[in-house]
Amino acid sequence: MLLLRNSSKSRIFLLVNPSNKIINTHQPSSTDQITTAICSYSIIQHSSEIYNLNAKDIALCFKQWFKSHDTLLFDRIFDILKTHNDTDADARNAADTALSNLNLRLSESFVLEVLKYGHRNGFDVLSCLKFFDWAGRQPSFQHTRSTFYAVFKILSKARLMSVMLDFLEKFMNPWWCVHRIRYYNTLVVGYAVAGKPYVALHMFGKMRFQGLDLDEFSYHVFLNALVEQGCFDAKFDEAESYLERLVSQGKAVDGLALGSIVEAYCNRGMFENAGRLMEKFCDMGVVSLEYAYGVWLGCLAKAEKLDGALEFLKSKKIMEGFIPDVFKYNLLVSRLLRENRLVEVLDLLTEMRDDQIFPDKVTLNNALCFFCKAGLVEVARELYNSRSEFGLSPNGMAYNYLVNTLCSNGSTKEAFRVLKNSFQRGFFPGNRTFSLLADALCREGRIDKMKELVVIALQ
């Protein structure tokens, strides 16, 4: 029997009984019992009354949350980009026409959202580049330093440095120099993100010789690259002094540069120094720490310092209203799932919904894995069967957990169906999952299914 609770927040208690019914020890006063019971904070009331919520009720609550993000337009954009071969001129024209027919209102924020969605949800880098190229050719839109930076980051994380450097060389064409605003800014940022800080320094020197200077955003990206590439030779005091000098000169300093130094400290295991730095600038009260807090939280999670990460999140949320983005939440939830800390996983998923954090595909897979590990088989089954309603595309880990859970629950036939679907999606289960299902099929005398399983695996 699994008990999920968090008494420190007076969250309701949930018990999972053998019949897969949810028993709540608290009778809420809200008319929306499902939302109150699963997705909201509640004060425990002493009452002898109990009520049951079935799996469909719980699944419905989470499905409503999953549907809260409208990504149908983004999915349509990437469907167009994927289905047209870029090597064929007619196909490229067809893709351009199809995108134009969507009547997109291009703006910096919209282009950034599309690029972020494509990158975070596993679409190929080429599709992101196609959209970037198409948007830049539209008469109503001109790329900004932020959109350039976004596509540079996508290329660098995909380790496509050669593509990125080719792009920058073409960008140095004199035509671009005449017709593009902040020409040197883009080059400095591009080479910095591409892992070429000394080339970026050279470009920075050329623009300073001409009496030009970087804008605030580019300075922060440039400094970040210098720190990450060790150009300060681990002399973090110089980087800190630089930020303090900006403050003393009355220049605006946002959290990006500060977060870069915090991350550099953490990557070298110097967590105390990173914490001291944040406290120093917190006391100054002149710098937004939201980005640095997110970096710190992510570094704690990656270093498996989960207790510290949870305590930091709790304290900063209460004291300063800090709310991480969906990516930091996903990272923390994934690490907690790995450690089977299901109470904290439920707490974080609930917080995400309460704080109106729009879930992405990683969030959906984390939730599916949670219900499997928590023994809520019916909820996991309901979410999987209705996955097309909210765009759930299970990953390899989710498929493994779901097949294992269904086998353990005696639902061998359904586990076989899920496994076949995973093959069709390009995922092959782990050896344990494959063996578990094979043993279950043999025990039930399903020799035909066993043979089919072997044939599919060999293909």
Predicted confidence (pLDDT) per residue in 348-380, tens digit: 998 998 888 888 888 889 999 999 998 888 899
Q: Residue 87: pLDDT band by 50, 70, 90 thresholds?
A: low
Q: What is the DSSP string of 381-417?
A: HHHHHTHHHHT----HHHHHHHHHHHHHTT-HHHHHH
Spell out the residues 6+ positions from residue 118 whose beta carbon is closer than 8 angstroms to its own: 74, 78, 127, 128, 131
What is the model's pLDDT at position 294? 92
- pLDDT over threshold 80, residue 190: no
Dihedral pair phi/psi, residue 129, rounded to 5°: -65, -40
* 159 vs 264, higher pLDDT: 264
- pLDDT over threshold 80, residue 418: yes
- pLDDT over threshold 70, residue 209: yes
Alpha-carbon Rg of the chain, whole angstroms?
26
Q: Residue 144: pLDDT band by 50, 70, 90 thresholds?
A: confident
According to DSSP, the residues that pair with 16 across neighbouring strands are 2, 22
pTM over 0.75: no
Mean pLDDT, residues 301-309 = 94
Taking the C-alpha atoms of residue 263 and residue 298, their distance in angstroms, rounded to an integer, is 9
Q: Is 3 helix (H, G, I), strand (E, B) or coil?
A: strand
- pLDDT over threshold 70, residue 433: yes
Taking the C-alpha atoms of residue 51 and residue 47, their distance in angstroms, rounded to an integer, is 11
According to DSSP, the residues that pair with 3 across neighbouring strands are 15
What is the model's pLDDT at position 228? 67
Mean pLDDT, residues 45-61 = 55
Q: Are 218 and 184 in contact (CB under 8 A)?
A: no
Q: Which two tokens stand for residue 317?
A: 């949320």
Q: Residue 108: pLDDT band by 50, 70, 90 thresholds?
A: confident
What is the model's pLDDT at position 46? 30
Select, from the ranges 20-29, 38-47, 365-374, the one with the highest average predicted confidence (pLDDT): 365-374
CA distances to 67, 188, 211, 334 from 304, rounded to whole Å, are 31, 35, 47, 11
169-178, 269-278, 354-363, 437-446 — which is least confidently predicted? 169-178
